[in-house]
Structure 1
Amino acid sequence: MTASPAPAAAALTTRAQEVSSRIVDDILTLVRQETSSYDLPGLAAGLDLLRELTVQRLGQPDHEHCYPGGECGDTLTLTYAGTGTGAGTGAGHVLLVGHYDTVWPTGTLAGWEQPGASEDGREKLGGPGIFDMKTGLAQGIWALKLARESGAPLPTVTFLFNGDEEIGSLSSRPVIEEAAQKADVTLVLEPTAHGAVKTARKGTGIFQVTATGVEAHAGLAPQDGASAITALSEFVVAAAKVAAPDRGTTINTGLFRGGSAINVVAGQATAGVDIRVSSEAEQARVDEELDAIKVSDPRVRIEIDHAWNRPPMTLNAASAPLLALAREVAREQGRDSLPDTAVGGASDANFVAALGLPVLCGMGAVGDGAHAQGEFIYPDTVAAQTGLVAGVLVRLTRPLRG
């Protein structure tokens, strides 16, 4: 039996439109299972649900492996063998990456209010993690389902679902990097930027700063104390001045803790600092200037844990042909264009791009409000985004060439 030729992206999108209500049902099923990055039982239940949904839509995988996350959510890979052939190249191999953890504490769903329609009357759907990024997970599963049903030759597809992206992919990073090196192409199902794919992302640092001072009675002998809180406050103010927004560098102290009692000069304080940079040069500058900060009381010791979490991502030479292919698919869908953009947030695509491998990010939801109470998707875009991923898959039966 001869395999069918690759169907036009328009036909895949039309089919996605016919089943869009079922795709949305799967999205909402995933949203109803809360998966806070810090709730291990919730994450386990969420991963079980995600696997079950994948198997319902695609059947049993040809290979699967679960990587324990320890204090983080587990990482699961599910591989479906391809049916395409190329001249000595095999079927090609595509990695689809998506995280199932969210920033929302367990219990958030109960108080979530659905958004009203947009100003132009378009329907919105909201929920914790619906935009970032449970919609992308469901769309990716359905994209492969529709591509398989079309009868077209297909690449091998591996889904990688990780449960710790929102806290830095601490356990899943090596799994992602290894899987990406085995694949020909990686598509990250993170949400779009208002419909644009993401080809550049900032690098991130998650620094912990600790101040160690000298405790003393705040009333009887305050002069004997050296306040860690006062010193760390000075540091935080100075650190904010190291930011250079015109160069893409931002610095935000998001957590601050310290002291033991209101009537004790604080002996210790800690701060959690979020740093975003667009280049390795800025990363080096920030390291140097933070280390150079001095506080007014020399009795307080400042220690900085320089924890650079993700490298900056740019559109590397390997990814440019993949972007061109996605744009070709979008044109077949009838879109005027498929824009790409740079964003301040980081994702697991940063790791893949840093290896010099082809990757596109932002292949998922269209909506807005990531990490905000109003996060939402436009359900009328679900079919087009699913069709886009499906259309790219049927064109990747051979390894992408520059």
Structure 2
Amino acid sequence: MTASPAPAAAALTARAQEVSSRIVDDILKLVRQETSSYDLPGLATGLDLLRELTVERLGRPDHEHRYPGGECGDTLTLTYAGTGTGADAGGGHVLLVGHYDTVWPTGTLAGWEQLMPSDDGRDRLSGPGIFDMKTGLAQGIWALKLARESGAPLPTVTFLFNGDEEIGSLSSRPVIEEVAQKADVTLVLEPTAHGAVKTSRKGTGIFQVTATGVEAHAGLAPQDGASAITALSEFVVAAAKVAAPDRGTTINTGLFRGGSAINVVAGQATAGVDIRVSSEAEQARVDEELDAIKVSDPRVRIDIDHAWNRPPMTLNAASAPLLALAREVAREQGRDSLPDTAVGGASDANFVAALGLPVLCGMGAVGDGAHAQGEFIYPDTVPTQTGLVAGVLGRLAKPLRG
């Protein structure tokens, strides 16, 4: 591993402490613009705000491109040329990835308490998307700002902001994969796991299961009908038994719809099934066992859309030197350690890791409650996390070598 002269991480963190109130202000600006994954106008406004904030803090980028998302939020890349030196005379290239969409429906912000009571003596800030992951977005922008102000050589940095991560990165995945292959390393600004970076994530499947039965009058001729709802209920119960938590495999049916009227034997029903696996072997097993499920009424047809969304992520050989570098920076900050962990959730880091490229995830907020009412951050950790990312950028003026 090679490293360019870099500003001391402790100095960067101290500077982040001096401007922490401004960073928090930017976090709250982003939170106050609601960006539900399903609200295209809100997403467009949110991305415009995010771009304006980036340009305000860093100036106009050397290159930018907005990729239309269609039925999803757009993806935006902003590239700032580096000052480092390397094999190609252009120095290193770091990709910072963050999504601006949230799971929260538009209107959730009204009545949401921003300052939360604390049971541990620490202030907490709350808001829809503050933890997952608008704090990470603001911290990433400020990390580059502080690293640039230090005067040290820096890599080229590309920000990639996508508006569909919470619904599977359906539009942005090819952009992420393309841009990641042009960068030396990728840092994903998702929230930490209680301060730990995330080096292993489960793969995810978003399956749509459709049952097609036979409609009939529920009172006059129920025997002529074949209930899609009954059959799909049988399928859902059987599918839950395919889960193997001891192997890291979970199966959750989160959506169930069907029928046309209360007095009609249902002719169709659908279920949305969330599947998490920790290995490709488990992915294959789940596919096979779900396909083998039989329902009691042979007149009902079951169709399964095996939509595997993200591959499992592990700490690959390319990412190990990046983790070691981040730990060096954390030690310079005065931290005792920078732990890494495996988590059940997936992120856009899964795509990058599957390509065999160096990536670290969970470089963002410290807090808790992702996807839960009352998600929060600890604002006293904002300087440390911002300084960590700034310090890593300062070490990557030359391409990382393992």
> Fold conserved (TM > 0.5)?
yes
Deviation at 1:119, TM superposition (A): 2.0
Corresponding residue SS for 1:97: strand
Deviation at 1:89, TM superposition (A): 5.2
Could you give the per-residue CA deviations for residues 91-129 of structure 1, whole angstroms, max 9, x where no partner exists? 110000000000000000002123533222100000000
Percentage identity across paired residues of the two chains: 94
Could you give the per-residue CA deviations for residues 240-296 of structure 1, whole angstroms, max 9, x where no partner exists? 000000000000000000000000000000000000000000000000000000000
Q: Is the 8 A contact 1:203 1:276 kept in 2?
A: yes
Deviation at 1:86, TM superposition (A): 2.8
Partner of 1:204: 204
Rounded to whole Å, the distance in 1 between the matches of 2:365 and 2:397 is 25
Rounded to whole Å, the distance in 2 between the matches of 1:208 and 1:87 is 48
**Paired residues for 1:79-228 under 5 Å:** 79-86=79-86, 88=88, 90-228=90-228
Deviation at 1:297, TM superposition (A): 0.1
Q: Is the 8 A contact 2:3 2:398 kept in 1?
A: no
Deviation at 1:398, TM superposition (A): 1.1
Q: Is the 8 A contact 2:313 2:354 kept in 1?
A: yes
Rounded to whole Å, the distance in 1 between the matches of 2:2 and 2:294 is 72
Q: Normalising by structure 2, what TM-score?
A: 0.98
Deviation at 1:155, TM superposition (A): 0.2
Q: Is the 8 A contact 1:3 1:151 kept in 2?
A: no
Partner of 2:400: 400
Distance 1:154 1:230, change over 3 A: same
Q: Is the 8 A contact 1:251 1:274 kept in 2?
A: yes
Could you give the per-residue CA deviations for residues 351-370 of structure 1, whole angstroms, max 9, x where no partner exists? 00000000000000000000
Distance 1:3 1:62, change over 3 A: farther
Rounded to whole Å, the distance in 2 between the matches of 1:374 and 1:381 is 18
Could you give the per-residue CA deviations for residues 180-233 of structure 1, whole angstroms, max 9, x where no partner exists? 000000000000000000000000000000000000000000000000000000
Distance 1:87 1:209, change over 3 A: closer
Q: Is the 8 A contact 1:287 1:306 kept in 2?
A: yes
Could you give the per-residue CA deviations for residues 125-145 of structure 1, whole angstroms, max 9, x where no partner exists? 000000000000000000000
Q: How many pairs were matched up?
A: 402
Deviation at 1:6, TM superposition (A): 1.4
Rounded to whole Å, the distance in 1 between the matches of 2:231 and 2:170 is 30
Q: Is the 8 A contact 2:4 2:394 kept in 1?
A: no
Q: Is the 8 A contact 2:13 2:386 kept in 1?
A: yes
Task: Give the superposed CA RMSD.
Answer: 2.0
Partner of 2:238: 238
Q: Is the 8 A contact 1:205 1:309 kept in 2?
A: yes
Deviation at 1:87, TM superposition (A): 5.1
Rounded to whole Å, the distance in 1 between the matches of 2:155 and 2:117 is 39
Partner of 1:31: 31
In terms of mean alpha carbon deviation, does 198-207 or 2-11 score higher? 2-11
Could you give the per-residue CA deviations for residues 13-41 of structure 1, whole angstroms, max 9, x where no partner exists? 00000000000000000000000000000
Rounded to whole Å, the distance in 1 between the matches of 2:267 and 2:255 is 18
Deviation at 1:399, TM superposition (A): 1.1
Rounded to whole Å, the distance in 2 between the matches of 1:120 and 1:89 is 50
Corresponding residue SS for 2:326: helix
Corresponding residue SS for 1:275: strand
Deviation at 1:5, TM superposition (A): 4.0
Distance 1:275 1:69, change over 3 A: same
Q: Is the 8 A contact 1:3 1:152 kept in 2?
A: no
Structure 1: unaligned runs, 5 residues or longer: none
Q: Is the 8 A contact 2:4 2:395 kept in 1?
A: no
Rounded to whole Å, the distance in 2 between the matches of 1:220 and 1:89 is 81
**Paired residues for 1:248-287 under 5 Å:** 248-287=248-287
Distance 1:244 1:385, change over 3 A: same
**Paired residues for 1:71-82 under 5 Å:** 71-82=71-82
Q: Normalising by structure 1, what TM-score?
A: 0.98
Q: Is the 8 A contact 1:313 1:353 kept in 2?
A: yes
Corresponding residue SS for 2:87: coil
Deviation at 1:88, TM superposition (A): 5.0
Q: Is the 8 A contact 1:97 1:187 kept in 2?
A: yes
Q: Is the 8 A contact 1:353 1:359 kept in 2?
A: yes
Deviation at 1:46, TM superposition (A): 0.1
Q: Is the 8 A contact 1:210 1:303 kept in 2?
A: yes
Deviation at 1:80, TM superposition (A): 0.1
Deviation at 1:168, TM superposition (A): 0.1
